[in-house]
Amino acid sequence: ADKFQDIIWIATERNGLNGYNYTTHQFSFYKNDENPNSLSSNGIMFLSGEASGNLWVTTYQSGIDMLDKKTNHFIHYNQSTVKGLISNYNRCAIDDEQGNLYIGHLFSGLSIVSIKNKTAVNYMPNPKDPNSLPSKEVYTVFIDSKKRIWVGTNNGLALFHPEKKIFTVFRKNMNPGSLRSNIITTIREVNDQIWFGTVAGIAVLEEQYGITDAPEKVVFKHMLASDAQSGLSHPLINSILQDQYKNAWV
């Protein structure tokens, strides 16, 4: 849902970007064509808002596009236009509203792009460094209301500290209340709590410990799949959303 217009943006796997105007009940369509200002690829993985009101479009294999709503042109952020960008293959991209775009790559870690300068810094796992990114496969990036930057991978959860350029890493089996899976598929904030979708249900962060100083003590409350009415219908979580009535949809 667009924060500035009466539009629901819809990403498709092979047919580009759709915009549904729920006031006029009309659709607009954006696809890749011979126009250099068109969408760079019709395969879209993720959508997110841009700081000034435009739209970030994460493509599967052609980098990130920004839709300029005033011109209806797409500005391309890829290996041809961004110095130091390690890959055009992506799962997600999110704007920190401070001039940086965080990109989660399929197999190339995390990149942080300076939107103004079009330069990138990349982070990859280092087995010798416990404060490095836990995996080169990044599934999701989320910035919460406290401006903390969370990175979900297929080998653990990471909290990125931009001032130190290091990661605090959380994995399963760190304590009896730790994560039940290292595969973090989605991250959202629900009623001032951080919910982590995994392949083993939902983990809700309990913040009674300093999550930076003592990650091994951090515990999570778990929502698991079960046949009970209160249980999740399936352990694999793909998406979490909260509606205007404060309900959570999984």
Residue 132 tokens read as 């490095």
- Using a 10 angstrom Cβ sphere, with 0-12 exposed, 13-18 middle and 19 or more buried, the burial of residue 169 is buried
Spatial separation of the C-alpha atoms in residues 44 and 53, rounded to whole Å: 19
Q: CA 8 to CA 18: how far, in whole Å?
A: 8
- How far apart CA 178 and CA 56 sit, in angstroms, is 33
The tokens 């959860």 sit on which residue?
157
In the block, residue with structure tokens 């924060």: 3
Number of CB atoms found within 10 A of residue 153's CB: 24
How does pLDDT run across 174-184, given as a tens digit for each residue? Answer: 999 999 999 99
pTM: 0.95
User: What residues does 29 pair with on adjacent strands?
Assistant: 18
| Angstrom distances, CA of residue 147 to CA of 69, 195, 225 | 26, 15, 31
pLDDT for residue 92: 98
Q: Exposed, middle or buried: residue 142 (CB in 10 Å: 0-12, 13-18, 19+)?
A: buried
Cα 150 to Cα 183: distance, rounded to the nearest angstrom: 14
Give the tens place of pLDDT for each residue, 90-138: 999 999 999 999 999 999 999 999 999 999 999 999 999 999 999 999 9
pLDDT in tens, 173-232: 999 999 999 999 999 999 999 999 999 999 999 876 567 778 889 999 999 999 999 899
Tens of pLDDT, residue by residue over 32-51, are 999 999 999 999 999 999 99
